[in-house]
């Protein structure tokens, strides 16, 4: 069982490690400069710690993700979970991964003047054909990803990082304004924005199912095994994030960069020349491919359980829908996805935290409802403003909330809502 735990942990690492996770740490390293380590520690706490907590939370409720929201109301649990799967699956997450793989892995080698739209269509046909094939038999997912794709991904990342350690010797720069006064907290918020805690709600089912297929059925054993696999994944993610962030810190004097992709492209060229572009293309393609497989499997497993369609039918629908949306282009996908993710992410975090605290308030429905209601008011407001909608009546009130400016304005309302719910529930019992 030790071998299987390691394989599942490696699989989980590959599922988490998408293109976004590849390009965020270098940006943090470049901007944090000499404040790199406190910023990176904050990033790891939320970029690695929160997703692992979410995975364990799924094990606690025995792989039924909708149960995270059913304490609020059964219909809310079904609706919110469906929205999460659609958002990180065929609507946004999977098409975005395919587009990033195309733009960072394919476009750099395409000749000027070529028809990019046609090349994207051809690329996505192959990409989603392979994603569908790998997703057809989820019981083999651990072997296919954990045993083959993850080692290939880790070897490619290690080649980039080890080469960079020998070649990149420039001193780190002065921290940007963002990381000048509170680098730990800025890194903490940056890790929260990776959105991996939402993906963990989907990947948790894959992990728990994999352990069940290996004969583990008791709740205690499932939670323990899931935690071990999560720790293996977390250690690998921490090492990779730290290495990629260090590369970003050492690239500060090498030019001006708009994003982490440009930082890594320049770094790989400095270290390996033109071969570096091929190496980066392999890393990005594998990272996006494994994440897309995991999200397809998770969506198919969930909707096969909640609808009348079979697993294979759902997997085909997800692959086709992802293919169509991917061909809208990366900018259009991001423009629509960011507001939706901003709206649902805080709600998902609160549900995960309440799952771990459940025994302290004896699973009170009113605690769940109070916390989620006030969290949703703030997060939906933020999502709608991201869409460009102005709500002048709410704006003065919500934007005065503590930590609103750093994306955590929902935190105090969640605590207040839970407290009010707990007080009402206690009063009912008393009287």
Residue 231 and residue 48: Cα distance in Å, rounded?
A: 9
Residue 164 and residue 158: Cα distance in Å, rounded?
A: 10
Q: From residue 237, how far is each of 231, 240, 286 by CA, in Å? A: 10, 5, 15
pLDDT, tens digit (0-9, with 9 covering 90-100), for 230-274: 999 999 999 999 999 999 888 877 778 877 777 888 888 888 888
Residue 201 and residue 184: Cα distance in Å, rounded?
A: 26
Q: What are phi and psi of 311, to 5 degrees?
A: -60, -50
Domain boundaries, the chain: 1-327, 339-430
Residues with Cβ within 8 Å of 49's Cβ and at least 6 positions away in sequence, in order, are 234
pLDDT, tens digit (0-9, with 9 covering 90-100), for 20-48: 688 789 989 999 988 999 999 999 998 89
Residue 44 near residue 241 (C-beta atoms within 8 A)? yes
Residue 202 and residue 298: Cα distance in Å, rounded?
A: 5
DSSP 293-307: HHHHHHHHHHHHHHS
Residue 19 near residue 284 (C-beta atoms within 8 A)? yes
Where do the DSSP E strands lie in 154-274?
none
Segments of the chain scoring below 50 in pLDDT: none
Q: From residue 219, how far is each of 139, 142, 339, 348 by CA, in Å? A: 20, 21, 36, 22
Q: Which of 386, 385, 408, 410 is nearest to 395 (CA)?
A: 385
Greatest distance between any 2 Cα atoms in the chain: 76
Residues with Cβ within 8 Å of 39's Cβ and at least 6 positions away in sequence, in order, are 28, 32, 179, 183, 184, 186, 187, 190
pLDDT at position 189, please?
A: 78
pTM: 0.81
Q: What token pair was written down for 393?
A: 């009546």
DSSP 364-402: -HHHHHHHHHHHHHHHHHHHHHHTT---TTTHHHHTTST
The fold for domain 1-327 equals Amino acid/polyamine transporter I (1.20.1740)
pLDDT at position 270, please?
A: 86
Q: What token pair was written down for 19?
A: 């293109």
């Amino acid at each position: 069982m030790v071998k299987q735990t390691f394989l599942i942990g490696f699989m989980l690492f590959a599922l988490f490690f998408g293109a976004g996770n590849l390009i965020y740490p270098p940006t943090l390293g470049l901007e944090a400069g000499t404040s790199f380590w406190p910023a990176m520690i904050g990033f790891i706490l939320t970029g690695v710690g929160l997703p692992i907590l979410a995975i364990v939370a799924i094990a606690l409720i025995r792989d039924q993700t909708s149960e995270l929201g059913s304490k609020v109301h059964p219909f809310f649990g079904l609706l919110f979970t469906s929205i999460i799967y659609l958002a990180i699956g065929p609507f946004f997450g999977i098409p975005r991964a395919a587009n990033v793989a195309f733009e960072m892995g394919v476009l750099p080698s395409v000749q000027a003047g070529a028809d990019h739209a046609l090349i994207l269509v051809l690329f996505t046909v192959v990409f989603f054909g392979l994603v569908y094939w790998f997703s057809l038999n989820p019981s083999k997912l651990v072997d296919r990803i954990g045993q083959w794709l993850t080692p290939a991904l880790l070897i490619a990342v290690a080649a980039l990082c080890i080469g960079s350690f020998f070649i990149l010797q420039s001193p780190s720069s002065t921290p940007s304004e963002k990381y000048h006064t509170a680098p730990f907290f800025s890194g903490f918020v940056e890790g929260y924005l990776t959105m991996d805690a939402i993906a963990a709600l989907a990947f948790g089912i894959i992990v728990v199912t994999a352990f069940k297929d290996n004969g583990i059925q008791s709740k205690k054993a499932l939670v323990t095994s899931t935690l071990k696999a999560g720790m293996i994944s977390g250690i690998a993610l921490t090492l990779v994030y730290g290495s990629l962030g260090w590369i970003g810190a050492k690239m500060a004097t090498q030019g001006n960069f708009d994003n982490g992709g440009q930082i890594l492209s320049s770094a790989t060229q400095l270290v390996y020349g033109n071969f570096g572009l091929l190496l980066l293309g392999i890393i990005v393609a594998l990272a996006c491919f494994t994440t897309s497989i995991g999200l397809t499997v998770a969506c198919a497993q969930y909707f096969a359980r909640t609808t009348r369609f079979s697993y294979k039918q759902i997997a085909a629908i997800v692959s086709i829908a992802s293919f169509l949306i991917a061909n809208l282009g990366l900018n259009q996908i991001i423009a629509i996805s960011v507001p939706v993710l901003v709206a649902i992410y805080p709600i998902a975090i609160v549900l995960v935290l309440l799952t771990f605290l459940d025994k302290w308030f004896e699973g009170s429905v009113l605690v769940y409802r109070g916390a989620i209601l006030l969290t949703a008011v703030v997060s939906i407001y933020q999502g709608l403003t991201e869409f460009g909608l102005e709500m002048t009546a709410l704006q003065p009130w919500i934007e005065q909330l503590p930590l609103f400016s750093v994306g955590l304005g929902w935190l105090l309302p969640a605590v207040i809502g839970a407290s009010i719910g707990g007080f009402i529930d206690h009063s009912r019992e008393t009287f």
